[in-house]
Amino acid sequence: MPFPSKIDISASMNNSSCYKSPMLIGGSAFKKGGRITSHGGGFSSVFPFKNKNGKKIAIKCWCNDIGDVKLRMVMISNRIKGLKLPYFLDFIFDEHGLIVTGTIRPIIAMEWSESLDLKEYINNNYNTNKVIFIELAENFMKMVKDFHLNNIAHGDLSHGNIKVTSNKNLLVIDYDSMFVEGMDGLTDNIKGLPGYQHPKRLNNLKVHNRLDYFSELIIYLSLIVYNESPELWVKYYGTEDFLFSKTDFYAPQNSSLIQSLLLNKNSTITYLTNYLIAALKFDDICQIEPLEDVLDKRFVAIANGIINKF
């Protein structure tokens, strides 16, 4: 059975007679300029929605197959609720949520967060907070260490999927690509944005707890670089990437950005850039180490003068 288009889903969200889920009935989708408001990527559409109690929530419906959607969403929801970590928003899966082109489609209803995404937050605050990049790097490190301790991976870490609260705490959204315990063997269908992912992610077949290791390195290193050279933020803010692009990853020897970072006076930047170059030579993303392990080794590497010998 083919998946509906985003236009079809929007039409159904705009028609209350298509609502089947109790989370939809009695509510209405937000509109702007008379048109229904939606967000999303290649696999789903997400709608700001006011439920029957007047509370703003997010409604997601899929326009592409993520594979075993019911199994994934139920397992992820149960794990998130059980862990009670501060980085996730609770959600409810309803297999019989919305009629789209005559077929009942599943949805999820999630808490709505008004927090800005990582890029938006930085751009609004970096001129007035000179340590913002270090603060975010520290909070990001804490978050990914908690992920590792609890054997979970987001699978699509990027600026748009990371939100920053007013007190600089981090939230992640969009859980379609997640791995939690018990999901071994499920397919890795959502590969993430190229500017955050190892080129060999395209060859990865199954979800696992190491999905984030490369994107963790990229985000953390980028924050450290921006702290050292905040003028670069103006240069790269308008791109779809955070700092690095897929071109940098496919040909690091030709990347002016990567080559300049190898000459940086900050030894942590040069160390992590060298590790990045080494990691790009791996044939399997499972060979990449978790961020905290990479960082734990940097002082020994720097002291022994081996940062250029990966």
**Whole-number pLDDT of residue 1:** 62
- Tens-place pLDDT, residues 122-158: 999 999 999 999 999 999 999 999 999 999 999 999 9
Spatial CA neighbour of 68 closest among 93, 49, 85: 93
**Rounded mean pLDDT of the chain?**
94
Can you tell me whether residue 206 is helix, strand or coil? strand
> Using 50, 70 and 90 to split pLDDT, how confident is the model at 300?
low
Residue ranges of alpha helices (H) inside 150-289 are: 213-228, 231-236, 246-250, 256-261, 267-279
**Whole-number pLDDT of residue 278:** 97
The full length of the chain comes to: 310
CB 57 within 8 A of CB 112: yes
> Using 50, 70 and 90 to split pLDDT, how confident is the model at 305?
low
Mean pLDDT of 18-36: 94
Residue 228 amino acid letter? E
CB atoms closer than 10 angstroms to residue 251: 11
Is the pLDDT assigned to residue 290 strictly greater than 80?
yes
Is the pLDDT assigned to residue 41 strictly greater than 80?
no
Token duo for residue 261: 């970072």
| Burial bucket for residue 260 (CB in 10 Å: 0-12, 13-18, 19+) | middle
Q: Which residues pair with 56 in a beta bridge?
A: 50
Mean pLDDT of 238-252: 96
Phi, psi of 79 (to 5 degrees): -70, -45
CB 212 within 8 A of CB 144: yes
Is the pLDDT assigned to residue 98 strictly greater than 90?
yes
CB 148 within 8 A of CB 209: yes
**Whole-number pLDDT of residue 299:** 62
The sign of the torsion formed by the CA atoms of 101, 66, 194, 47 equals positive
**Whole-number pLDDT of residue 308:** 44
- Fold of the 6-111 domain: Phosphorylase Kinase; domain 1 (3.30.200)
The sign of the torsion formed by the CA atoms of 279, 284, 287, 289 equals positive
Spatial CA neighbour of 72 closest among 84, 60, 86: 60
CB 158 within 8 A of CB 242: yes
In this structure, whether the domain defined by 116-303 belongs to CATH 1.10.510.10 is answered with yes
Mean pLDDT of 188-213: 97
Mean pLDDT of 67-74: 96
Q: Where are the domains of the chain?
A: 6-111, 116-303
Task: Tell me the chain's radius of gyration from C-alpha atoms.
Answer: 21
The Cα–Cα gap between 189 and 177 comes to 7
Mean pLDDT of 185-208: 97
The Cα–Cα gap between 261 and 86 comes to 33
Phi-psi category of 85—alpha, beta or left, where left has phi over 0 and alpha has psi -120 to 50? beta
Residue 71 amino acid letter? L
Mean pLDDT of 168-194: 96
> Using 50, 70 and 90 to split pLDDT, how confident is the model at 2?
confident
CB 30 within 8 A of CB 67: no
Mean pLDDT of 225-235: 96
Is the pLDDT assigned to residue 309 strictly greater than 50?
no
> Using 50, 70 and 90 to split pLDDT, how confident is the model at 33?
confident
**Whole-number pLDDT of residue 42:** 80
Is the pLDDT assigned to residue 28 strictly greater than 50?
yes
